[in-house]
């Protein structure tokens, strides 16, 4: 089963925005604008078989979530033939 990788776009230091990998708690990247952080978070999330990108507002509240890929054990009919 593919483990879901989760990234969060959160307010960063100095008014910027950070992309944080939940599994490790590591800040993966820092950006001046929220849209830059979202685009980088999307790029990172899409590089995994099964992932989630959670975007927060300036107060830290969850604003939106994006899921990429799928868990092939939950949806065996969608397995790709490689």
- Structural domain includes residue 15: yes
Mean pLDDT score of the chain, rounded to an integer?
A: 89
Helices (H), 1-82: 34-46
Query: Residue 46 and residue 60: Cα distance in Å, rounded?
Result: 23
- Structural domain includes residue 67: no
Average pLDDT over residues 56-80: 81
In DSSP terms, which residues pair with 50 in a beta bridge? 69
Q: Which range marks the domain in which residue 34 is found?
A: 7-61
Q: Is the pTM of this model over 0.75?
A: yes
Position 78 scores a pLDDT of 57
Average pLDDT over residues 46-74: 90
Query: Residue 61 and residue 36: Cα distance in Å, rounded?
Result: 19
Kindly report, residue by residue over 2-39, the tens digit of the pLDDT: 689 999 999 998 999 999 999 898 999 999 999 999 99
- The strand pair at 62-69 and 50-56 is best described as antiparallel
Residues 53/7, Cβ–Cβ less than 8 Å? yes
- Structural domain includes residue 69: no
Position 38 scores a pLDDT of 98
- Structural domain includes residue 25: yes
């Amino acid at each position: 089963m593919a483990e879901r990788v989760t990234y969060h776009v959160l307010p960063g230091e100095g008014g910027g925005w950070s992309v944080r990998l939940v599994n490790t708690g590591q800040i993966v990247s820092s950006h001046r604008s929220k849209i830059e952080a979202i685009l980088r978070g999307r790029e990172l999330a899409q590089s995994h078989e099964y992932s989630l990108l959670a975007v927060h507002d300036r107060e830290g509240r969850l604003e939106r979530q994006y899921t990429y890929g799928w868990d092939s054990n939950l949806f065996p009919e969608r397995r790709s033939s490689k």
